[in-house]
Amino acid sequence: MKSDKKSQQLDSLSTHNEDQKLTTNQGVRISDNQNSLKSSNRGSTLMEDFILREKITHFDHERIPERIVHARGSGAHGVFKLNKSLEAYTSANFLSEAGKETPVFVRFSTVAGSKGSTDLARDVRGFAIKFYTEEGNYDLVANNMPVFFIQDAMKFPDLVHAVKPEPDNEIPQAASAHDTFWDFISLMPESMHMIMWLMSDRAIPRSFRMMEGFGVHSFKFLKEDQTCHFVKFHLKPRLGIHSLAWDEAQRISGVDSDFHKRDLWEAIENGDYPQWDFGVQIISENDENNFDFDILDPTKLIPEEIVPVEIIGTLTLNRNPDNFFAETEQIAFHPGHLVPGIDFSNDPLLQGRLFSYTDTQLSRLGSPNFHEIPINRSLNTVHNNQRDGHMRSQLVKGKVSYEPNSIGGGCPYQAMIGEGAFYSHEEKVSGTKIRMRSKSFVDHYSQAKLFYNSQSQPEKRHLEKALIFELSKVTIPAIRERLVGQLSYINDDLCNTVAKGLGVEVKKLLFPNQSIPAFTDPETLQSEEKEPLIASSSSLSMEFTVKDTVKSRKIGFIIGKGADSSSFSYLTSALEERGARVEIIASSMAPVKLSNGAIILPKHSLTSCASVLFDALYISTGENSGNDFFLSENKLKILNFINEAYAHCKAIYFGDGASLFYESSNAYNKPYEDPGIIIPVDEDPLNKFLNAIAHHRVWDLERERNS
Ligand code: HDE
């Protein structure tokens, strides 16, 4: 009774200070936030200044340990809408009722870099989703690649130590191009499939909004009658899967290292809500052993030609966080946050993850009460007998914190299965306790082959160049040679091209597994040179992705004084009507007068930005006389813009008055048809421009454009 009175008092007090006066953390109003308390006008600062001490103490403790991996992240709120019921497979409530909407928070991340590192690293991207379901929180802690480097959790610290900056000099930051990473990888044949993904352009996405998501492991869908199916989770971006060029990614790192964070933030602020189709591959329990690989092996994917992805819902991100630290930094994911109807498989990597994530939250967030931080709270009210602990904020009333009890009327009671209680798959388990890798995990090359064979020609070239770039940074020749030896098991063209680019002789490794102790069984030391089950899979190449939209693409308009106003308005509205974003670049930040006298305000100057920040360019310069675009300094800057965009295979529209730039650029007078170069005399230039932007790049002409 007493405590009820107290809480009523507290409630009424909490409405005080409505005029938002500055206070201490104890709620005391502050009259001077400029000066500390001193013994005299020019005297020493007094210890009793509790206002100063509180402010500085809080400041001193503002940082919490960053995540050991995935430290750099960007997040957003959104909603998952189920379009097709999965109740035939799972009792999970949020997957059962078509039309149901579940709030989510998604955090994207790079893996290797520190919190302040560049967004543009060649790296895997995290794609972690917290579903706030009515049955509790479900976390799908996914990546943008469907496989992983290693098969067993035992190797995770080794992998992460190898890729992180080297311990003696803390170099390099957010980069895999160094000795220790490639030393480890060259001794780990099981990583070869993932290396194909990591060296492909998937590792340098154009935007978080344009990348896929994969749950990687096989999980289980369960019904209360114990019917079980294996399931793999997929997210397919509505805008298509698109990447940057490696040279471009390196340039953006310097010009705007928050490129992906900004892109996500701006898209949501502009109402261009990122969307993904959410899909599942479902495998009946009876088919578990009917593949030529083990579905528990996280270095393998299930080709969509073999088990199609069924689209069952839509993920939409529609609200930016209010506070980065409170939400994106403090969100705590865990593959073990499950709801009834979903269960783990025995994938040994997944099993190891189940320990790691809570453990990591304890050291990062500092308390077992991290579930009480608002971003981590379940929608379902939490009732249990856990108590106390660092920073406990839940105020549980009464004497009882144990079960069974009679004093508390028995509360809280256990729920029954069928009342939304969690239940596990009742699996038969038998076997010999053993520390060994299963023989069914031994084929390391056939899916690496499948991935390489599925790439388009430009994608293959990019992958080869990435390997040459990375391995050229390695200082120990033996590591390069060993890695080339691994490539010889994947594809001869790939191996020979990389060997040539590195100046290395190809020496096929006789026993690629011999160097590692994982396979202690002599039979499994022999390399497996299997052919993949299917020769190629179209879903593995970005070539076949969505290329019919300019929505949310950023078009840089380089506009000079006197630029033709009617072309400017026509093109701006045509692009904006289709959802593209036009940003004006001028010679300085001063307003620009168009041919009809209209004034436009630039968002950028030629000095403050670079072509790499835009998907396409339009140049319109107006009359030559009095136009500072034709001053030699600006002319050079514009030509640099154009030539760089040209090298990165982007669409460039030379509008009114820009012929001089066209003729001086690398795009001029080429012996081949280039669908990415638009000039006013083209037939239907608008549609040519729109089509070129929607296609993302003219990758097929990369060699020609750069020769
Ligand atoms: Fe993680 N991983 N991981 N991981 N992981 C973490 O947890 C770990 C793995 C993934 O935005 C950590 O809260 C182990 C696979 C994402 O907050 C840590 C193993 C996949 C994120 C951890 C793996 C992932 C993490 C660090 C091998 C793809 C960022 C901070 C056994 C399916 C989540 C944290 C976010 C974060 C451990 C392998 C995805 C240390 C031990 C495979 C997206 O607990």
The protein residue with its alpha carbon nearest to ligand 1, atom 30, reads: 67
- CA of 215 from ligand 1 middle (Å) equals 12
User: Closest Cα partner for 119 from 215, 245, 196, 203?
Assistant: 203
Residue to probe by mutation, ligand 1, list 141, 198, 260, most atoms within 8 Å of CB: 141
136 three-class SS: strand
Residue 523: pLDDT band (50, 70, 90) is: low
Average pLDDT score over residue span 256-262: 98
Locate all alpha helices (DSSP H) within 285-415, ordered by sequence. 348-365
- Is the pLDDT at 7 greater than 60, yes or no? no
Atom of ligand 1 nearest to the CA of 75: 11
- Is the pLDDT at 247 greater than 80, yes or no? yes
- CA of 338 from ligand 1 middle (Å) equals 16
Whole-model pTM: value is: 0.95
**How many CB atoms within 10 Å of residue 509?**
19
- Is the pLDDT at 531 greater than 90, yes or no? no
> By CB neighbour count within 10 A (0-12 exposed, 13-18 middle, 19+ buried), where does 43 fall?
exposed
Asked about 61 being catalytic, the answer comes back as no
The 10 Å CB-count burial string (b at 16+, else e) for 313-335 is bbbbbeebbeeeeebbbbbbbbb
Assess whether the C-beta atom of 156 lies below 6 angstroms from ligand 1: yes
Q: What is the pLDDT of residue 628?
A: 80
The protein residue with its alpha carbon nearest to ligand 1, atom 42, reads: 148
Assess whether the C-beta atom of 469 lies below 6 angstroms from ligand 1: no
Residue to probe by mutation, ligand 1, list 64, 66, 70, most atoms within 8 Å of CB: 70
Residue to probe by mutation, ligand 1, list 159, 356, 361, most atoms within 8 Å of CB: 356
Assess whether the C-beta atom of 72 lies below 6 angstroms from ligand 1: no
Catalytic residue among 93, 137, 143, 320: 143
Residue 631: pLDDT band (50, 70, 90) is: confident
Q: What is the pLDDT of residue 524?
A: 58
SS3 content of the chain, % helix, strand, coil (to 5): 35, 15, 50
Assess whether the C-beta atom of 572 lies below 6 angstroms from ligand 1: no
The protein residue with its alpha carbon nearest to ligand 1, atom 6, reads: 69
User: Closest Cα partner for 126 from 301, 335, 294, 279?
Assistant: 335
- Going by their DSSP bridges, the two strands 554-559 and 581-586 should be labelled as parallel
Distance CA 482, CA 512 (A): 9
Q: Which residues contact 701 (CB under 8 A, 6 or more apart)?
A: 649, 672, 674, 676
Counting every residue written for the chain, the total comes to 707
83 — phi, psi (to 5°)? Answer: -100, -25
Structure confidence by residue, pLDDT tens digits, 414-464: 999 989 999 999 999 999 999 988 889 989 999 999 999 999 999 999 999
Average pLDDT score over residue span 186-200: 96
Atom of ligand 1 nearest to the CA of 157: 41
Q: Which residues contact 349 (CB under 8 A, 6 or more apart)?
A: 148, 150, 151, 152, 153, 156, 217, 298
Residue 512: pLDDT band (50, 70, 90) is: low
Percent of residues, the chain, with pLDDT higher than 70: 95
Distance CA 694, CA 615 (A): 10
420: region left, alpha or beta (phi > 0 left; psi from -120 to 50 alpha): left
- Is the pLDDT at 516 greater than 80, yes or no? no
Q: What is the pLDDT of residue 622?
A: 81
Residue to probe by mutation, ligand 1, list 137, 155, 161, 353, most atoms within 8 Å of CB: 353
Atom of ligand 1 nearest to the CA of 331: 17
Atom of ligand 1 nearest to the CA of 156: 27
Q: What is the pLDDT of residue 498?
A: 98
Residue 632: pLDDT band (50, 70, 90) is: confident
Residue 175: pLDDT band (50, 70, 90) is: very high
Locate all alpha helices (DSSP H) within 17-88, ordered by sequence. 50-60
Catalytic residue among 70, 229, 260, 334: 70
Residue 522: pLDDT band (50, 70, 90) is: low
Assess whether the C-beta atom of 243 lies below 6 angstroms from ligand 1: no
Token pair of 520 as six digits: 């202690």
Atom of ligand 1 nearest to the CA of 143: 28
Mean residue pLDDT across the chain: 94
- CA of 159 from ligand 1 middle (Å) equals 13
Residue 3: pLDDT band (50, 70, 90) is: very low
How big is the CA angle at 333 (ends 332 and 334), to the nearest 5 degrees?
A: 125
- CA of 541 from ligand 1 middle (Å) equals 26
Q: What is the pLDDT of residue 250?
A: 98
- CA of 597 from ligand 1 middle (Å) equals 57
Residue 520: pLDDT band (50, 70, 90) is: low
Residue 19: pLDDT band (50, 70, 90) is: confident
45 — phi, psi (to 5°)? Answer: -80, 140
Asked about 70 being catalytic, the answer comes back as yes
Percent of residues, the chain, with pLDDT higher than 90: 89
HSE-up of residue 254 (Cα within 13 Å, Cβ side): 9
Average pLDDT score over residue span 305-333: 98
Token pair of 60 as six digits: 């001193």
Q: Which of 3-17, 255-269, 577-591, 627-641 has the lowest mean pLDDT?
A: 3-17
Assess whether the C-beta atom of 194 lies below 6 angstroms from ligand 1: no
Average pLDDT score over residue span 98-108: 98
How big is the CA angle at 705 (ends 701 and 707), to the nearest 5 degrees?
A: 115
- CA of 283 from ligand 1 middle (Å) equals 25
**How many CB atoms within 10 Å of residue 529?**
12
